[in-house]
């Protein structure tokens, strides 16, 4: 049972929902929680207000201040409206784009948000039906809007929904805008302050015209059109996992020139219940089971999958034993960066001002590829809003090539400012065709990257701790690691510690402490060992978990060494895991 002070606070907040201008169904649900002997659900629903994290507003759907519902979505939209009107007071017409994914209530939340924006005098471009997250970012830039939102919980389980807010560059908000919007939302103390009655004259439905422009732009990033022509009948299995890419990715692949797109019919069914998977996340091996089965049946060349809002992409390829294997997010980013830099170099596009971006928890091999080819590499925090911020800061003087993160997100263009699985799918298919043109499979291409730059393997471990007590436990875990750091990991001494909360880097060999050049602080710890192992520890900004990222390095002198290097890396990862106690 929660302490008495917290329970009283929760009961007081819940009572305001009973007394306020809320619908009868909502009030009935609140009353049931208040009358229940076990107050756990009541506490979980009201103990805090949903806040913007690395992925915006996200939570379980239901009644309460800590749940996704028309009132929390309404407060977020009203707060964002108030902020936009203050920031762009001199504009004759403020405008926003609204998109949504396949989740239950997403269309409802999108339409309510459109009503609220329009009631505040803001022009709304509302997509006619579900669309990929990257297309919303594209549309914001295309229409010259000041902001935009998409209703999505990305790859989270079906009980979740979310609300991503974007700024005028099409990127998710960072400080000060995210903090200022939160401040505006917190000022809304009464549901009556939310303007739910919309102005239809300010709501414009958009769709096909934007789709065409989006795909036309994606076609411009192609670097090997001749390879596609020679391998256009390559068999590509694609699954949207019930989500927003169901139409756009197959269409983009066909417009790229690929003619043999194989569907997984059961997963082409658009559904917020995700009936064929436990988790609609391409990071989860089970989510690609049906696609791989289809690939085996059809003797396909490549498997592509996207998450429900089509910003993450997962792939599977055949190995040297003709067995299908999943390619993880780090490896995918590695293939993208290697290909982009190599092709830019071969095409004479490298002029000395190019750069790539990766997050601090993503494989260090990417940085080594960039440095060897005289391409600048920026490190940033987890979340594509930070990659977009670096693009924005450098676009006037430097040329962006690509950027990605280990969590299956990549962006190979600048007309979108969020991770983009639509363009990533088309580019990965092109890379597969290019590799085939050069007598290699994608699997062999990955091996050749390791041969040139050294073998590396990564593993992400998530420790889930739900609810208020879980949040407190996560804080304690971080505090323990910060105050009592390990001395060694997997038998190798730690030589450098980076603490992004204090923005200090400590060299344990010399005792030298230097500053980390980052825009803001973040609750992330990193440990680097003598043998090249890197461990990152951070609480998730969108889910009730703490994440551990383990990267180890190894030796590989020929393709035949791949399995041995992989086995040794797995052993080292398990040893590091044991050292961490997770």
Distance in angstroms (rounded) separating the CA atoms of residues 224 and 220: 11
| Complete edge-to-edge strand list for the sheet that includes strand 236-239 | 261-263, 236-239, 302-306, 313-318, 324-327
Distance in angstroms (rounded) separating the CA atoms of residues 30 and 63: 7
Q: Is 154 a catalytic residue?
A: yes
Between strands 313-318 and 354-359, the pairing is unpaired
Q: What angle do CA 248, 252, 253 make, to 5 degrees?
A: 120
- Neighbouring-strand partners of residue 513: 506
Distance in angstroms (rounded) separating the CA atoms of residues 257 and 550: 39
Phi, psi of 431 (to 5 degrees): -60, -40
Of 66, 108, 92, whose CA–CA distance to 196 is shortest?
Answer: 108
Of 274, 258, 338, 335, whose CA–CA distance to 307 is shortest?
Answer: 274
CB atoms within 10 A of CB 352: 9
| Contact between 581 and 486 (Cβ < 8 Å) | no
B/e letters for 292-301, b = 16+ CB within 10 Å, e = fewer, are bebbeeeebb
Catalytic residue among 118, 137, 154, 407: 154
| Contact between 314 and 305 (Cβ < 8 Å) | yes
| Contact between 121 and 197 (Cβ < 8 Å) | no
Q: Is 147 exposed, middle or buried (0-12, 13-18, 19+ CB in 10 A)?
A: buried
φ/ψ bin of 305: left (φ > 0), alpha (ψ from -120 to 50), beta (otherwise): beta
Q: Which residue has the tokens 């907040």?
A: 13
Between strands 534-539 and 525-529, the pairing is antiparallel
Phi, psi of 506 (to 5 degrees): -115, 125
Handedness of CA 114, 116, 117, 122 (dihedral sign): positive
| Cα-based torsion angle of the residue sequence 134, 135, 137, 140 in order, rounded to the nearest 10 degrees | 180
Of 471, 466, 528, 457, whose CA–CA distance to 497 is shortest?
Answer: 528
Q: Is 376 exposed, middle or buried (0-12, 13-18, 19+ CB in 10 A)?
A: middle
SS3 label, residue 314: strand
Residues involved in catalysis: 154
């Amino acid at each position: 049972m929660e302490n008495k002070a917290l329970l009283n606070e929760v009961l007081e907040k819940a009572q305001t929902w009973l007394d306020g201008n809320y619908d009868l169904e909502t009030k009935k649900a609140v009353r049931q929680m208040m009358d229940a002997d076990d107050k756990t659900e009541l506490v979980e629903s009201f103990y805090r207000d949903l806040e913007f994290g690395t992925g915006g507003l996200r939570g379980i759907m239901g009644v309460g201040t800590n749940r996704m519902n028309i009132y929390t979505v309404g407060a977020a939209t009203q707060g964002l409206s108030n902020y936009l009107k203050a920031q762009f007071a001199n504009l004759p017409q403020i405008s926003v784009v609204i998109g949504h994914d396949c989740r239950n209530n997403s269309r409802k939340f999108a339409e309510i948000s459109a009503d609220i924006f329009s009631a505040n005098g803001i022009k709304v471009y509302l997509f006619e039906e579900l669309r990929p997250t990257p297309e919303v970012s594209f549309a914001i830039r295309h229409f010259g809007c000041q902001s935009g939102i998409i209703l999505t919980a990305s790859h989270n389980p079906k009980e979740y929904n979310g609300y991503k807010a974007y700024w005028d560059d099409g990127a998710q908000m960072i400080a000060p805008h995210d903090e200022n919007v939160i401040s505006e939302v917190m000022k809304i103390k009464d549901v009556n302050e939310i303007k739910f009655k919309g102005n239809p004259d300010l709501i414009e439905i958009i769709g096909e015209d934007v789709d065409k422009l989006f795909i036309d732009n994606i076609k411009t990033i192609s670097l090997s059109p001749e390879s596609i022509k020679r391998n256009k009948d390559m068999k590509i299995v694609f699954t949207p996992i019930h989500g927003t890419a169901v139409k756009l990715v197959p269409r983009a692949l066909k417009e790229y020139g690929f003619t043999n797109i194989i569907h997984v019919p059961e997963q082409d069914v658009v559904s917020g219940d995700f009936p064929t998977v436990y988790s609609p996340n391409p990071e989860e091996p089970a989510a690609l089971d049906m696609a791989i089965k289809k690939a085996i049946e059809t003797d396909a060349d490549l498997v592509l999958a996207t998450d429900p809002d089509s910003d993450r992409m997962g792939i599977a390829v055949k190995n040297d034993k003709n067995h299908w294997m999943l390619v993880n997010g780090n490896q995918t980013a590695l293939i993208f960066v290697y290909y982009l830099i190599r092709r830019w170099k071969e095409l004479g596009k490298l002029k000395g001002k190019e750069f790539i971006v990766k997050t601090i928890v993503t494989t260090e091999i990417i940085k080594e590829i960039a440095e060897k080819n005289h391409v600048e590499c920026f490190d940033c925090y987890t979340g594509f809003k930070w990659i977009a911020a670096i693009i924005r800061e450098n676009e006037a003087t430097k040329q962006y090539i690509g950027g990605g993160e280990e969590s299956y997100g990549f962006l190979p263009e600048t007309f979108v400012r969020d991770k983009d699985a639509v363009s990533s799918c088309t580019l990965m298919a092109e890379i597969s065709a290019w590799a085939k043109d050069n007598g290699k499979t994608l699997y062999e291409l990955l091996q050749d990257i390791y041969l040139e730059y050294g073998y590396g393997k990564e593993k992400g471990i998530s420790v889930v701790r739900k609810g208020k007590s879980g949040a407190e436990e996560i804080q304690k875990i971080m505090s323990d690691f910060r105050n009592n750091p390990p001395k060694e990991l997997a038998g190798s001494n730690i030589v450098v510690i980076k603490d992004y909360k204090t923005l200090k880097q400590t060299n344990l060999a010399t005792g030298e402490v230097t500053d980390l050049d980052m825009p803001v602080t973040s609750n992330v710890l990193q440990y680097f060992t003598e043998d090249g192992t890197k461990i990152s520890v951070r609480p998730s900004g969108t889910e009730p978990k703490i994440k551990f990222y383990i990267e180890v390095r190894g030796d590989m002198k020929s393709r035949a060494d791949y399995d041995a290097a992989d086995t040794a890396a797995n052993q080292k990862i398990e040893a590091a895991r044991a050292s961490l106690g997770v």
